[in-house]
Amino acid sequence: MNKILPNISSATDSSATIKRRVRTLIDRLAERHELTRDEYLYVLDHITVDDTAHLFQRAYEAKQPHYQNRVFLRGLIEISNHCVRGCRYCGINRNNRSLQRYRLQPDEILDCVERGYALGYRTFVLQGGEDPYFTDDRLTGLIRSIKTIHPDTRITLSLGERSKDSYQRLKDAGADRYLLRHETASRRLYEHLHPNDSNFDERIRCLYDLKELGYQVGAGFMVGSPTQTNADLVEDLMFLKDLDPHMIGIGPYLCHEDTELAGNDSGTLIATLILLALVRLVCPKAMLPATTALGTLDKLGRENALMVGANVMMPNLSPEANKALYEIYQNKIRAKDTDQYDRDDTKRRIEAFHHIADFSAGDHVDIERMIRHD
Ligand code: SAH
């Protein structure tokens, strides 16, 4: 079976026995936080729209004891769209010649942090392509400056694969968290999406290194990437259980027409929500963003995500001239909004769905407990 979640549109035609088994497995996952490979596959192969209400409710409940209805806000600064990699799905990959490239200078990044601090953010996510300009020396200088000016903030880096030594230096300089989606835990799919220049084992190695170094680590994957099957998604669930990251970014694959994968279907809202909900049950304490990709796919994508267990949003703080150029996928929402509008609009959306916008540093619940007891 090639198509992901094949039953999802055929709604109610599954037999009562199948339906009962799907619900039993969802309940088991909610209680034990893991299933076997075969059980996960059974759920993904047989879940119908009918069963999603049950899954979504269980996932919503699962975040309550740890985070209640708080949604943590992070200010996202897209520091460079230069990239040495050739990821076939990504609009800023090195082979896209039609993209105008930019990189922010350290003082411009500090300006973004200042604007963000004034708007209330206490976590800054510095994300970018793998740009050799950002050497350890440049980054450590930048991280130290931010932490000296604002010691009450957290710095999250999302700058791709680096050596363990480099991760160590960035951590010593004051970086707290690192986002590095594993993209897919299926070796076959990983190699399909990253032929030639990117290595599955390396990517996974980076994540375990980051964890060992004491970062709050974020992994994650795309839903609906070309040739992805339910069996591939089962690998993601198994992998996340093993790594047990602090953050998990899950978004739909969105086809970018200036990439090698032009012409493919994008992921769907329902499949992404099902995976988000399952991941919330596997890792009940994880920070789960309602991603910009989901908001781009559907007007209420992020709000839906909150209702199935997500608890983080990342408004954009990049300079206005650069927002649209960080084009990992097309038609990115908020590319034309001001920082102030983005913050206010995000807060309004959160509140409209009966959640609370939380501007605190917002550590993972286990880390927060550790800090409190120090
Ligand atoms: N260079 C960094 C940051 C990459 S951009 C790194 O390697 O981690 C952040 C995430 O955007 C990627 O990890 C990927 O999962 C997602 N992404 C890239 N292209 C995408 C696309 N076309 N559709 C949806 N998500 C995409």
- Are 136 and 39 in the same domain? no
* Residues having CB within 6 Å of any atom of ligand 1: 89-90, 127, 129-130, 158, 160, 180-181, 183, 222, 251, 253-254, 256, 293, 328-329
Is 124 contained in some domain?
yes
For residue 179, give the ligand 1 atom closest to its CA.
8
- Are 189 and 301 in the same domain? yes
Is 6 contained in some domain?
no
Three-state DSSP at 253 gives: coil
State the pTM of this model. Answer: 0.96
What residues contact residue 274 under an 8 Å CB cut-off, 6+ apart? Answer: 5, 8, 44, 47, 52, 55
The answer to whether the beta carbons of residues 47 and 7 sit under 8 Å apart is yes
- Are 24 and 160 in the same domain? no
How far is the CA of 74 from the CAs of 39, 175, 360, 370, in angstroms? 35, 15, 9, 21
Q: What is the largest CA-CA distance in the chain?
A: 62
- Are 93 and 241 in the same domain? yes
Is 5 contained in some domain?
no
CATH number at residue 311: 3.20.20.70
- Are 44 and 81 in the same domain? no
- Are 206 and 97 in the same domain? yes
What residues contact residue 32 under an 8 Å CB cut-off, 6+ apart? Answer: none
Tell me the pLDDT of the chain (374 aa) as tens digits. 344 565 554 545 558 999 999 999 999 999 999 999 999 999 999 999 889 999 999 999 999 999 999 999 999 999 999 999 999 999 999 999 999 999 999 999 999 999 999 999 999 999 999 999 999 999 999 999 999 999 999 999 999 999 999 999 999 999 999 999 999 999 999 999 999 877 999 999 999 999 999 999 999 999 999 999 999 999 999 999 999 999 999 999 999 999 999 999 999 999 999 999 999 999 999 999 999 999 999 999 999 999 999 999 999 999 999 999 999 999 999 988 999 999 999 999 999 999 999 999 999 999 998 888 87
Kindly report the protein residue whose alpha carbon is nearest to atom 10 of ligand 1. Answer: 181
- Are 100 and 20 in the same domain? no
Q: Which domain holds residue 251?
A: 64-373
- Are 15 and 126 in the same domain? no
- Are 55 and 90 in the same domain? no
Compute the distance from residue 90 Cα to the ligand 1 centre, in Å: 6
Tell me the C-alpha distance between 76 and 317, whole Å. 5
For a ligand 1 pocket test, name from 222, 292, 325 the mutation site with the most ligand atoms within 8 angstroms of its C-beta. Answer: 222
Residue 13 CB burial class (10 angstroms; 0-12, 13-18, ≥19): exposed
- Are 161 and 26 in the same domain? no
- Are 207 and 84 in the same domain? yes
Report how many domains make up the chain: 2
Three-state DSSP at 191 gives: helix
Instruction: Look up residue 369 and give its two tokens.
Output: 């407990």
